[in-house]
Structure 1
């Protein structure tokens, strides 16, 4: 069966059938490994500080690239969440009467 017909039956574009994904380069794999090592050692560091650590090790990397790689790897900085509501236990709780 021709590829054109197969693509019509599967409701996909013909270009999808011919697409061959490009693998990661050796440089990108090494960069991901270094970011992962830094993150394991310092889980509270964000993209800015990780980029600074990479610069100290002699790797010139844009922060946006570090952000993209961290997002792809599923890692992020650990930080305290905002405490927006801290009710005092001594205060009286009033019922909501408009329901």
Structure 2
């Protein structure tokens, strides 16, 4: 008996199968036969896609996070600059 290795599917392939499953032009069982998959695998991919789909529309919160990170980065650079000036001043005093 030979050991079979697991098949690995690309994101493009998974997206293609999920899109066909969401269109509902054919049943999950038909898609499973067409792509040589188990129906449970297709349903799992559909659940994953549905869970991640909401984050695609959360661009507002993503923009806010980026703005907050940029503000924090600017503050940190200002603090570094201030500390460098103070350090140079103290070095001259010694």
Q: TM-score, normalised by structure 1?
A: 0.28
Tell me which of the two structures has the higher relative contact order, counting C-alpha pairs closer than 8 angstroms and 6 or more residues apart.
1
Relative to its length, the structure with more helix (as a share) is 2
Larger Cα-atom Rg: 2
